[in-house]
Amino acid sequence: MDSNNIWITLAVLAAYINLSYSNQESCKLQDRRFEWNDKPEEENDKVTAILGGDVTLKCVLNGVTEILSQITWQRWINEKIENFLIYHPKIGPHPLVPFARRVTFVGKGAWDGSIIIKNVSLSDEGKYNCIFTTFPTGSHDHFIKLFVQVIPSITVSSENILLAGKGEATVATCIAAHGKPAAKVSWETHLEKESHVVDEFFAENCTVTIRSQLLTFPTKEMNQLELHCVVTHPTFQQPEILPYKLNISYPPSVVLKTFVDEPDQLTLYCEADANPAPTKFVWIKEHKMLQNMSTNKIFLTKLAPHHTGLYSCEASNQHGTGNGNLFLLVEETFTDKTRMIVVFIPVVILTLTVLTFTIKVLCFGDEAAFSTKTAVRQKPNDTKQARDSDEVKIG
């Protein structure tokens, strides 16, 4: 990313943060809709609704033996009082404004003025008052605070390609978007070292987006490691747990293996551990590239001395290349043409006398970490495993 793009990105981010802060201050001012300066707190009912759902505002007057004239419902809109519904004992309910079309009067009896607000919106949040007008004493108020909650939308992802061994990086991001009130986000992992960066963004409608970034030092051992984002919110009966598997990229590491198919047949297998899988294989014998050998396996038939030599396999993906080497020495008897395969480390090869009528195979890898072993005829399932990949015959 060039310097101009960096400055543009920083400018956009700064503007977004300023907008979020401005919205946060505006939401604090809107919260004052719930302040009752002339009524004690214990006289108020608090009701919670979920955006898009229905909510019942109960209004019941007990212990009154007077005559009921009417019930009036009010709400506060932009610091102004709006009468939106009237109930008369003989006429029934009567809507006064368009908002009342979403309101159903469900009062049971003369002293029950309860209503249901359908398809609740964020604009419905605020203060409500149910007024019983009686004769001869006058009116009786019942105040209600309606809070509207919004279920957050939750996602877990990784914003970047994660490379092993490249230092600390954000390996996963969990976002609980547009919740009201703000959700709480945490992580459940088995990482030895981790840190979190949490950001909070306020929208104009006072919903809140929480973004939690999980940081650690990626290694190839972490590839496909499962972790969990845990989100709690008042609208959830229990925490929401979202699983996520890490996808760590790394270049190939290569080991060459041999499989004995028949007494005079041998398979050389280029086993490459990489993510993503290698897209290219190159086979080399004695520093010369083998033509048409672009798979992870070559199949040697009718073994003869001309197969003797140093074989190398290079496996590549977009993150790098790994290689492995194997030295094959073929010697043939003049009687029964029997053959056997032995694997030695370099020091042993230099000090031991050449075995007559023997095929010697020397394996070594990139990191010069050598071991001595003897290759024997493979079991049927091992041979099948070797033949599952593409095969190329030379001989």
Residue 271 confidence (pLDDT): 95
Minimum mean pLDDT range among 151-155, 250-254, 305-309: 305-309
Residue 265 confidence (pLDDT): 87
Confidence of residue 302 (pLDDT cuts 50, 70, 90): confident
Q: Last residue of a domain, which of 187, 221, 246?
A: 246
226-234: average pLDDT? 98
98-123: pLDDT as tens digits: 999 999 999 987 789 999 999 999 99
Residues 233 and 319 reside in one and the same domain: no
Residues 121 and 181 reside in one and the same domain: no
Cα separation, 128 vs 290, in Å, equals 84
Residues 216 and 294 reside in one and the same domain: no
Residue 4 confidence (pLDDT): 56
256-275: average pLDDT? 90
Is 168 part of a structural domain of the chain?
yes
Higher pLDDT, 261 or 249: 249
Residues 144 and 162 reside in one and the same domain: no
227-253: average pLDDT? 97
342-360: pLDDT as tens digits: 443 332 333 333 333 334 4
Residue 27 confidence (pLDDT): 77
Minimum mean pLDDT range among 19-28, 194-203, 308-317: 19-28
Residues written for the chain: 395
- Residue range of the domain that includes 49: 45-149
Is 350 part of a structural domain of the chain?
yes
Is 390 part of a structural domain of the chain?
yes
**Is pLDDT of 207 > 70?**
yes
47-51: average pLDDT? 96
Residue 118 confidence (pLDDT): 97
Residue 141 confidence (pLDDT): 92
Is 3 part of a structural domain of the chain?
no
73-99: average pLDDT? 92
Cα separation, 76 vs 125, in Å, equals 9
Is 39 part of a structural domain of the chain?
no
Cα separation, 306 vs 294, in Å, equals 21
**Is pLDDT of 366 > 60?**
no
**Is pLDDT of 364 > 60?**
no
Percent of the chain with pLDDT over 70: 73
Residue 159 confidence (pLDDT): 80
Residues 383 and 372 reside in one and the same domain: yes
**Is pLDDT of 70 > 80?**
yes
Tokens 């609980």 locate to 176
Instruction: Tell me the residue type at 286.
Output: E
Residues 257 and 390 reside in one and the same domain: yes
Residues 258 and 383 reside in one and the same domain: yes
Residue 164 confidence (pLDDT): 95
Cα separation, 56 vs 312, in Å, equals 77
What's the number of domains the chain is made of?
3
307-313: average pLDDT? 92
**Is pLDDT of 297 > 80?**
yes
The predicted model scores a pTM of 0.72
Residues 262 and 240 reside in one and the same domain: no
Does the N-terminal peptide bond of residue 218 adopt cis geometry, omega within 30 degrees of 0?
no
Residues 89 and 201 reside in one and the same domain: no
Confidence of residue 3 (pLDDT cuts 50, 70, 90): low
Is 239 part of a structural domain of the chain?
yes
**Is pLDDT of 87 > 90?**
yes
Confidence of residue 79 (pLDDT cuts 50, 70, 90): confident
57: CB partners within 8 A, 6+ apart: 47, 114, 115, 116, 117, 128, 130, 144, 146
**Is pLDDT of 329 > 50?**
yes
Higher pLDDT, 15 or 351: 15
Confidence of residue 240 (pLDDT cuts 50, 70, 90): very high
Q: Last residue of a domain, which of 130, 149, 168?
A: 149
Residues 348 and 386 reside in one and the same domain: yes
* Mean pLDDT estimate for the chain: 80
* Secondary structure letter of residue 63 according to DSSP: S
Cα separation, 285 vs 227, in Å, equals 45
Is 14 part of a structural domain of the chain?
no
Q: Last residue of a domain, which of 108, 130, 149?
A: 149
Is 306 part of a structural domain of the chain?
yes
**Is pLDDT of 5 > 90?**
no
Residue 88 confidence (pLDDT): 92
Residues 114 and 189 reside in one and the same domain: no
The answer to whether the beta carbons of residues 154 and 176 sit under 8 Å apart is yes
Residues 67 and 137 reside in one and the same domain: yes
Minimum mean pLDDT range among 19-23, 93-97, 260-264, 306-310: 19-23
What CATH number is given to the structural domain containing 370?
A: 2.60.40.10
Residue 351 confidence (pLDDT): 31
Rounded to whole angstroms, what are the CA distances from 359 to 115, 308, 330, 340, 341? 93, 9, 4, 6, 5
